[in-house]
Structure formats: structure tokens, C-alpha cells
Chain A
């Protein structure tokens, strides 16, 4: 279980997160929705230690992870796919995937090879293009690659930041469905940040609505999806 209490993260004098508390249960998809600037990305970046919180606590499996480095946090089984199809364009598809497993290549080479095989089964298109530079991929393929880079580390918690950004609806559907399958079949815990609230709430177990750095609502996903007044007030539709 990922448990966050009273988390405050600041950029200069701006409080991007102003006292956030939430829980993401193991083997479930928890989605964080909200308008631009609500603090969704900052939340994920603070969990993976790309940003340092001013106060508050983050515990994963009952251990505090505040103050650790991003490199260390990956080793605890938390993988973050940042916003914007974060792959390294100048490296090949194969190298982008391998990169995610470098830290455990020496200790567990056989499993790394297996994990890479599984990823190619999940996204056959990546295997076809494995020698190409990541920069030559389409937006959807790049997002698949970014997720693969995270999955090859065999995470137990996946932090996914706006996977739907800039992608065609059909591709979004496919990616979200893959994440859903992974969660249901392997027990992966997912914290999914999305602006596309309908799609996210469609697959999630639980919904957290952020507004201006605070939690505006914390409800089961189905209930949040059905709450027309809430969505009108915070998301504008």
C-alpha cells in the first residue's frame, strides 16, 4: 500500500501540493484526475523523488521513502513513467528498454531477458522496431516504449503520468486496456494520473480528484464517474 499524508511540495513560493493525503491499495488502479495545474504531475514527481516535499510523509509497504534518491526508489519497485512519452529519442527502441533493467542486469540477467521477452509479447510492434531510434516511433509507440522501460524493472507500483496525452482515442484505449490487464493479471499497483477523466475512471477502482493542490474528492471510481455535479464543478463537463 502506498500511503501519503499531508504532503506539501513547493516550487519557489508556489505550493503545488498543499497538504495531500491519499492511499493507493495494492493490486488496484487508483486514478488521480483534475484540471491543469491541480498538482497531479507534481504528486507523482514527489513520490519518485524528482521533487522534494517540504513536509508530509510517503510510505510504501510501511516504509518511509521520503529523502531517498530516484535511483533508490526504482530499486524498491516503484517505476515512474513521466509525462510526454518520456523515451530517449537518440537511443534505439531496444536500448530504451534495456536501460530500465541496467540496475539489475548483473544480479538477475536471466529474469531481465525474460522481462524483455514479455514486453515484446505485450507490444509486438516494439519488437519489430527494436533496432530503430525511439525518435522515429509514432506517439502511441513511444508511449508503449516509455511504459515498457518502466515495466522491465519489474515494478510493484507503476506511476503513470498522462499516458493519453496527444494520442488518438483508439491508441489511448489500447494503452489503458494494457495497463488494466497488467493490474488484473499480475497484481501490479497503479497510480494513474489523467486529464481524460472518463477513460481513467472507466478502468480505475478508486478516484482522487485534485484541485489547486488539495484533494477535492476521494471516492470509488464508479461513484465519481456518476457524480455529474462534481465533474461539472471541477472538470467543466
Chain B
């Protein structure tokens, strides 16, 4: 029973991180129509910035805010320096088929991930470093047993819910949110409606960048920081987003928590080596049985 409980707790706190990573992916997918594999690279980069500040005796919260701002800036840079020129180039080349139009930015994002990891390795050297938590990280005590669930985990879960509610309201309840959805779904009709799709896309890269750097800051205390630590989070976050439906914010959070529990149970009852396999099986199963995910919208029939 204690093992079961502790697996649940550990899974929930991991799940919150996966949910944040998945949210970041869904945000840029809904705002710019791109699956961004560079996301966790951006997160790693801004976490390194925070870590450097903390090493120079700035407070955690100063570093936290600077990391979020730099995460947003990095998102804007990715859009302005890579995605936007890429869009311009393709509109006049032979690569301009719908399949290519959606594939090229994804490949480019993989390239950006590589560049960010190499750059971080050069700037900060590739050695691992620790990263602090802002609140008490002693385990919760139940029946005299220490559970793998801390005040920090509660803090992370709280942040996930605040982010979910804020982004959901933003998309459904504000004009900018509508503009963002319209630009991703049909850029041409959006432009003809007077929406400045360039600005809207950059903004969605910024918001996603902030959400991702948040995920980076919150996951690193439990994983140590190196240029490659967040790779696994990216893969699990991506799977969570797909399980949730890729275009559903709530779905991605549910997917995140579900995968957190899965990872935790495999870890406790089976073996840590099988985590990767279990995730792959979930990803394939969802893609085959329910490609639109738990809450994703089915492609609406077009005439």
C-alpha cells in the first residue's frame, strides 16, 4: 500500500511537469501550427541562465523571472530568425506543397534543438549542475512514512493549473486568442480578416517559450541540469500532448498527468529501463486507435 501510494504521489508530481511541457507544445501548435521540438532546448537554455544568476548570489525569484523573460525572448528569436524567413522562402519554391509546408518547420525545430544544446555545452561546459527549489523540499509524512511528495510538488501542480486556466481563458475568451487560433487554422482567411498573422505567430512563440522555460525551471531540481537532461521530458511531453489531442490545452494536461502516473508505476513495479518502452507503446497505441487524442477535435469535413 505504501509503495502504491508513493507511486501515485511521485507520478502526480512528475505528471505536472509533463503537463507543462505538453502545454508549451500545444500552445505553439495552436498559435503557429508548428510542432516545436526545440522547445525543451529553449527551456534548458533559460534554465542555465537562471542557474548562472543563482551561482552569482541573485535570489531564486530574480533568476526565475529572468529565465521566464529570456524563455519568451528565445521563442521570439526562433520565430523571427528561423520560422519567418523559412515561410517567406518556401512560398516561391518547389517545396510549397501542404505536406512540406507543415514538415519543414518541424525539421528546422530539430535543428534549433541541436544548435541550442551545442551552444549551451560551449557556454556552460557540459558538466551537470544542481538547481535549487524555491520552497521546502522535504517529503510529506503519512503513517510515519515519508512520501515522495513535497511542498515543491504542490507548488508545481499549482503552477500547472494556473497556466491551464490562464491559457484556456486567453484562447477562448480574448480577441487575441481568437486571432491566434484563426492564424494557425487558416492563415489566408485570417489575413483577409485583417489579422496580423506575423505578429500573432511571434506572440504565440513567446507565450510557448515562457511556458516551456517554466517547465525547465520546475523539472531541473529533480533531474540536474545538463544540455541534454530535458530530452526525456520533451519526448514524454510530446507523447502527453498527442495523448491529449495536440490541440486541446486541457487534454494535454490530462495526458501529462496520465503519463506521469504511467512512468511512476513502471518505475516502481517494473523497472526504470522500461519507461521509454512503455511511453513508446502508449504513443503508438493512441496514434493507431484514437489519432485525435482524448480531447482533440476530429478533422472537420471540408468541401
Chain A residues proximal to chain B, CB less than 8 Å: 48, 50, 69-71, 74-75, 79-80, 82, 84-91, 95, 98-100, 102-106, 133, 135-136, 139, 142, 149-150, 153, 166
CA distance A136 to B301 in the complex (A): 8
Q: What are 19 pairs between A and B in contact, CB < 8 Å? A: A50-B191, A70-B191, A71-B195, A82-B188, A82-B192, A88-B190, A91-B181, A95-B181, A95-B182, A99-B190, A99-B195, A100-B194, A102-B178, A103-B194, A103-B195, A105-B175, A133-B300, A135-B302, A153-B194
Q: A70-B191, A99-B179, A105-B175 are in contact. Are A91 and B185 (CB under 8 A)?
A: yes
Residue of A nearest to B181 (CB): A91
Contacts of B297 in A (CB 8 A): 90
Structural contact, B193 and A74, CB atoms closer than 8 A: yes
Q: Please give me the 5 A-B residue pairs with the lowest Cβ-Cβ distance, nearest first.
A: A135-B300, A103-B194, A74-B194, A89-B300, A70-B191
CA distance A197 to B179 in the complex (A): 36
Chain B residues proximal to chain A, CB less than 8 Å: 175, 178-179, 181-182, 185-186, 188-197, 297, 300-303
Structural contact, B191 and A98, CB atoms closer than 8 A: no
Q: What is the distance, in angstroms, from A54's C-beta to the closest C-beta of chain B?
A: 13
Q: What is the distance, in angstroms, from A136's C-beta to the closest C-beta of chain B?
A: 8
Q: A95-B178, A99-B178, A166-B303 are in contact. Are A75 and B185 (CB under 8 A)?
A: no
Structural contact, A71 and B194, CB atoms closer than 8 A: yes
Structural contact, B193 and A149, CB atoms closer than 8 A: yes
Contacts of B186 in A (CB 8 A): 86, 88
Contacts of A133 in B (CB 8 A): 300
* Other A-B pairs, 8, CB within 8 Å; known A87-B189, A153-B193: A74-B193, A82-B192, A86-B186, A86-B188, A88-B186, A90-B297, A95-B181, A136-B300
Residue of B nearest to A138 (CB): B303
Residue of B nearest to A98 (CB): B178
Contacts of A166 in B (CB 8 A): 303
CA distance A91 to B300 in the complex (A): 10
How many A-B contacts are there with CB distance less than 8 Å? 83
Residue of A nearest to B297 (CB): A90
Q: What is the distance, in angstroms, from B20's C-beta to the closest C-beta of chain A?
A: 25
Structural contact, A100 and B188, CB atoms closer than 8 A: no
Q: A135: which of B175, B189, B196, B301 is its contact (CB, 8 Å)? A: B301
Q: Do most interface residues of chain B lie in helix, strand or loop, or is the interface mixed?
A: helix
Contacts of A86 in B (CB 8 A): 186, 188-189, 192
Q: What is the distance, in angstroms, from A72's C-beta to the closest C-beta of chain B?
A: 9
Q: What is the distance, in angstroms, from A43's C-beta to the closest C-beta of chain B?
A: 15
Q: A82-B189, A135-B300, A135-B301 are in contact. Are A88 and B182 (CB under 8 A)?
A: yes
CA distance A142 to B302 in the complex (A): 11
CA distance A134 to B179 in the complex (A): 16
Q: What is the distance, in angstroms, from A179's C-beta to the closest C-beta of chain B?
A: 17
Most buried by B among A70, A91, A99, A103: A99
Residue of A nearest to B197 (CB): A71
Structural contact, A102 and B300, CB atoms closer than 8 A: no
Structural contact, B185 and A102, CB atoms closer than 8 A: no
Q: What is the distance, in angstroms, from B226's C-beta to the closest C-beta of chain A?
A: 40
CA distance A136 to B182 in the complex (A): 17
Q: What is the distance, in angstroms, from B58's C-beta to the closest C-beta of chain A?
A: 38
Q: A89-B300, A89-B302 are in contact. Are A102 and B181 (CB under 8 A)?
A: no
Residue of B nearest to A80 (CB): B192
Structural contact, B302 and A48, CB atoms closer than 8 A: no
Q: What is the distance, in angstroms, from B72's C-beta to the closest C-beta of chain A?
A: 23
CA distance A143 to B160 in the complex (A): 41
Residue of A nearest to B182 (CB): A99
Contacts of A139 in B (CB 8 A): 303
Contacts of A90 in B (CB 8 A): 181, 185, 297, 300
Contacts of B192 in A (CB 8 A): 48, 50, 70, 74, 79-80, 82, 86, 150
Q: What is the distance, in angstroms, from B173's C-beta to the closest C-beta of chain A?
A: 11
CA distance A105 to B174 in the complex (A): 11
CA distance A136 to B185 in the complex (A): 16
Contacts of B189 in A (CB 8 A): 82, 86-88, 99, 149
Q: What is the distance, in angstroms, from B169's C-beta to the closest C-beta of chain A?
A: 15
